[in-house]
Structure 1
Amino acid sequence: MKYPVPLLRTRQDYFDLFKKINQPLQPFYRASGAQIDYIHQGVGYGNKIAGMEGFSRVLWGAGPAIDQLDERWLKLILSGIKAGTDPSHPDYWGEIHERDQRMVEMPAMLLALYHHEQLLWKKLDTGEKSQIIHWFSQIFEYECADGNWQFFKIIVGTIIQKFGYPVKESALKEAFDNIENCYLQNGWYRDSSRGRQDYYNPFAFHYYGLIYSVLEPEKPISQIYKNRAIDFSRDYIHFFAEDGANVPFGRSMIYRFAVSSFWSAMLWADLLPFKLGEIKGLVNRNIRWWMQKEIFDEKGILNIGYTYPQLTLTEPYNSTLSPLWLNKIFLLLALPEDHEYWTAKEMPMPIREGTKLLSEANLLIQHDNGHTFFLNAGQLGPNFHTLTNEKYLKFAYSSQFGFSIPRANQLKAEMAMDSMLGIQRADTYITTSFKNESIKTYGQFIVRNNVRDIVCKKEVLASTWEPTLQAKIRTWLIPFEGWQIRVHKVELDTEYVLYETGFAIECSPEKEGIIIEEDKENYRVSEAGFSGIICLSDDTIKRKSTAIMGLPNTNLMTWENTFIPGLEGTFGKGTHWLGTGVVAHQDRDYSLEVWNNRPKIDFDGTTGLTIQNKNNKKRLKLC
């Protein structure tokens, strides 16, 4: 289900959008208000907590909009918080424990009580206030996850102090220290001591840090948080394409336009790293891009997935109601009615360099004629997340083609391993059926799972990965004239099959398209655009064209089948140098022009590389 694309000019427009997203939930609130009973799947922390999670996540928007809500909605919020914190009530939220999901949901509720000069807090009597403070103070007695969760203690503790109650100072200090342990440089945090630089930087670390800076403007750390957010904004603006799409990357993709909540927090903290109209344009284009996707179910409630309902993508901590996290964007509603944002006119993106290196995230971002994509060296850190290889370790991620996730690790069509290099021993087969015949084929490829020896430069990314104890691959990723050039130095101990792919592109059987497969190249052209791959190695490297049809519901951007361009070859013991070119774009004419001006690569021994087409020539030292 889709809603009409919103205008988003005035404060009332944003409030109307908030209501449109959240009012369909109201029939599913329990009488107490403390739970939302709208559950259609399992979740790691259980669905009782998921009902409380839904109640809380609405408040990321309802809190800033407290002064605009009707009396019935205000009573529902107050009733829910009172019942949820009352041990004698059937809907009591319970006693928490270490690394408890209920910690995640605490800040939104306390902020709702605090917003607009503590409007809701003032409606409580002394006993109700003490009961609420007692329940929220549990967070200081237990360990939080050692990443962005530390801010939950900071925000909860700060608001409790604002309400005039004491907190455990040692727990607050420890939380501040842990946040500092996550900080890298240039505005970037790693989400825990083990790493991961992703969207939790903008919609968690900086979002919470900026909230704290507004709550405690005189504290020295507040200015530090602001300065870091300004530094980060200069990188983060490169995550968005001109059409409003953000590049999908990392975990928690189900939060949709929560990715723009960073800009809401910047405005609330009175920070303008770009022109106000540029920020408004960026936020609005992102919201509109999402509102044109199938992100609502038949009842008008947010579904779980990316651009359509898709459970395979989700994390163990994603419940039916988790997507309500996108209400974070409605921190905008905390801006006063006379704020310039409400009358500012949308402006296009500020002028950005075509290539942007983000060393802290090991990313090289390309803006190519309206298409924004990441080249990715991979990230260190053994954090466990669902589909880590797909979400963090592909060679590239795209605002137009997203990325794909597997249905199974068997056949290529099930794996849908776009923008990857897979390797398996040549004596390993999968038996399947094709055109009524049993056949043996290669499957169960090992893909990039960890990296080391990372080098990040504006002209090239490089990293090494070891798929087995005996095999080693060093990969260089190079942007060149609309191309994504990959070079792999592959060192093998025995015979292996290597299978490499480009971007997946929609391939609906109901829509016309042309597929071209030649000896060492293949591509598809259709109304969805162009995606192709070519072997750039010399004739001593034997790879064949191996395009496949990815199964439906594997790509984040389309529920249709996908065409995944690919190359496959068998290589024996020794060292092999592979060169690959990839082109993908929704603009077919532009893509074909780029494709037909294909580059040639020449190796200068084992230390240098020259890439050349009729327009340009680039020499690189292989680092």
Structure 2
Amino acid sequence: MPPLPGFSDNPLVTRDDVIHAAKSLLRPLTTYFSPCKARIRLPVSTGTHFDETAAQLEGFARPLWAIAPLLLGGDVDPPLYDAWIEGFAAGTDPHHPEYWGDIKDMDQRMVEAEMLAFALLATPRDKLWERLADSTQTNLVSWFMRMQRKEMPPINWLWFRVFVSLALIKVCGVPEAEIRAQLDDDMRALDSFYLTDGWSSDGIWRHPDDDEKEYEILRETGIAGRLPTGRSADFYSGSFAIQFSQLLYVRFAADIDPDRAERYRVQARSFSLGFSRYFGADGAVIPFGRSLTYRFACGAFWAALGFAEVWDLGGSLAEPGAAKGYLLRHLRWWAKHSEDIFYGDGTLNFGWQYP
């Protein structure tokens, strides 16, 4: 499988290098847009636990992690970015064939809603929100509001609704009073996941006493797995979800929740000192835990530090460029080892260093 020009051969030293790499990853996706740009379906058959419409929404939404910062940074490339902006119209219109579908309890659409909310929060208003037609803005608000008071897994998923709530308040003009109770409930639950040294578990950490209870239930009923299994502390605790999301919260909500934002800054500094030891001098990272097919997202924590302007990390990371160094070395490692991570059309395959 060929490497990807613009990424695999990229020195990844300067800001322009990173922009070029990001756009090189985005462009191959545009071939697979639906006619009205609300969905992306890659030509690879895989299985998921959710429906095909949600899977194609995932294809549309995940690239917004790159598109929104590019727009925030002032990059101009209408042929590339306008397709995603156009897709909001059909995706949020319940009468359109490319409608993303209503958000229901325990729905994968909740996951993808986070990227849509992030795009609204991160992108200057005149580059996204104000470019949406009034009807699209109304439809998007209605679609987001369907997440309120829905049942969600009590894990990192709660962050998805937090950012949707922030987007509704800070971008979409929904009165804070309509959202505040749900937002407060979600934040209290997320804060209860905290462990130590900046680390949080992905859900409430299971107490050892529950092991004995589980065994007793198994002996009496012959059924295992009746109690929560929450002992997850992996990349979802850092770059994939918890710490990453806390830093986004610092960026987007410090003005309305300054005390919690400062606590998250402190936790990020503590977390960074331990998390840095997972990365080698060449940028390689220890592969462990779930969702390793996210690959270079393992370094997202370092990018989020910069996005949240949390620089004073202390210890071996005291220099302002330390976090940037961890991020760029990690990206360079992937560029150097990318000969087997792309399909022939330039889209990423599933796997780690191999498909």
**TM-score class, shorter:** 0.7 to 0.9
**Structure 1 position 277, deviation (Å):** 3.1
Measure the CA separation in 2 of the matches of 1:141 and 1:271.
32
Measure the CA separation in 1 of the matches of 2:121 and 2:190.
24
Q: Which residue of 2 aligns with 1:268?
A: 307
Measure the CA separation in 1 of the matches of 2:11 and 2:86.
33
Which structure shows the higher helix fraction? 2
Measure the CA separation in 2 of the matches of 1:276 and 1:17.
23
TM-score by length of 2: 0.83
Aligned pair partner of 2:134 in 119, 126, 129: 126
**Structure 1 position 175, deviation (Å):** 0.5
Which runs of structure 2 are paired with 1:77-226 in the superposition (5 Å)? 77-118=84-125, 119-163=127-171, 164-166=173-175, 167-193=178-204, 194-203=230-239, 204-218=241-255, 219=257, 220-226=259-265
Letter in 2 for 1:287: L
Measure the CA separation in 2 of the matches of 1:93 and 1:69.
28
Unaligned runs of 5+ in 2: 205-229
Aligned partner of residue 276 in structure 1, secondary structure: coil
Measure the CA separation in 2 of the matches of 1:170 and 1:113.
22
Q: Which residue of 2 aligns with 1:591?
A: none
TM-score by length of 1: 0.48
Spell out, residue by residue over 1:156-209, the C-alpha distance to the aligned partner (whole angstroms, 9 max, x if none).
101110021134322211101110121112211010122211001112111111
Q: Which residue of 1 aligns with 2:216?
A: none
Of structures 1 and 2, the larger Rg is shown by 1
Aligned pair partner of 1:280 in 324, 328, 332: 324
Q: Which residue of 2 aligns with 1:2?
A: 3
Letter in 1 for 2:50: Y
Letter in 2 for 1:304: F
Answer whether contact 1:85 1:132 (CA < 8 A) is retained. Answer: yes
Answer whether contact 2:89 2:132 (CA < 8 A) is retained. Answer: no
Is 2:108 the counterpart of 1:64?
no
Letter in 1 for 2:68: G
Letter in 2 for 1:280: K
Q: Which residue of 2 aligns with 1:289?
A: 333
Answer whether contact 2:103 2:143 (CA < 8 A) is retained. Answer: no
**Structure 1 position 290, deviation (Å):** 1.5
Answer whether contact 1:114 1:121 (CA < 8 A) is retained. Answer: no
Aligned partner of residue 184 in structure 1, secondary structure: strand
Matched-pair identity in %:
32
Letter in 2 for 1:277: G
Q: Which residue of 2 aligns with 1:331?
A: none
Q: Which residue of 1 aligns with 2:208?
A: none
Letter in 2 for 1:131: N
Letter in 2 for 1:22: L
Please tell me the root mean square deviation across aligned C-alpha atoms, in Å.
1.5
Answer whether contact 2:67 2:81 (CA < 8 A) is retained. Answer: no
Q: Which residue of 1 aligns with 2:60?
A: 55
CA separation of 1:216 and 1:168: change in aligned 2, threshold 3 A: closer
Spell out, residue by residue over 1:598-617, the C-alpha distance to the aligned partner (whole angstroms, 9 max, x if none).
xxxxxxxxxxxxxxxxxxxx
CA separation of 1:45 and 1:202: change in aligned 2, threshold 3 A: same
Aligned pair partner of 2:37 in 26, 33, 39: 33
Measure the CA separation in 2 of the matches of 1:106 and 1:113.
11
Q: Which residue of 1 aligns with 2:211?
A: none
Measure the CA separation in 1 of the matches of 2:40 and 2:322.
37
Measure the CA separation in 2 of the matches of 1:12 and 1:283.
15
Letter in 1 for 2:62: R
Q: Which residue of 1 aligns with 2:26?
A: 22
Measure the CA separation in 2 of the matches of 1:277 and 1:169.
37
CA separation of 1:53 and 1:116: change in aligned 2, threshold 3 A: closer
CA separation of 1:277 and 1:170: change in aligned 2, threshold 3 A: closer
Letter in 2 for 1:149: W
Q: Which residue of 2 aligns with 1:238?
A: 277
Measure the CA separation in 2 of the matches of 1:5 and 1:237.
26
Q: Which residue of 1 aligns with 2:350?
A: 304
**Structure 1 position 128, deviation (Å):** 2.0
Answer whether contact 1:244 1:285 (CA < 8 A) is retained. Answer: yes
Answer whether contact 1:113 1:121 (CA < 8 A) is retained. Answer: yes
Measure the CA separation in 1 of the matches of 2:353 and 2:81.
32
Answer whether contact 2:244 2:300 (CA < 8 A) is retained. Answer: yes
Letter in 1 for 2:321: G
Answer whether contact 1:5 1:288 (CA < 8 A) is retained. Answer: no
CA separation of 1:116 and 1:43: change in aligned 2, threshold 3 A: closer
Which runs of structure 2 are paired with 1:434-453 in the superposition (5 Å)? none
Q: Which structure ranks higher in relative contact order (CA pairs < 8 Å, sequence separation ≥ 6)?
A: 2
Spell out, residue by residue over 1:458-483, the C-alpha distance to the aligned partner (whole angstroms, 9 max, x if none).
xxxxxxxxxxxxxxxxxxxxxxxxxx
Measure the CA separation in 2 of the matches of 1:168 and 1:116.
22
Unaligned runs of 5+ in 1: 310-623
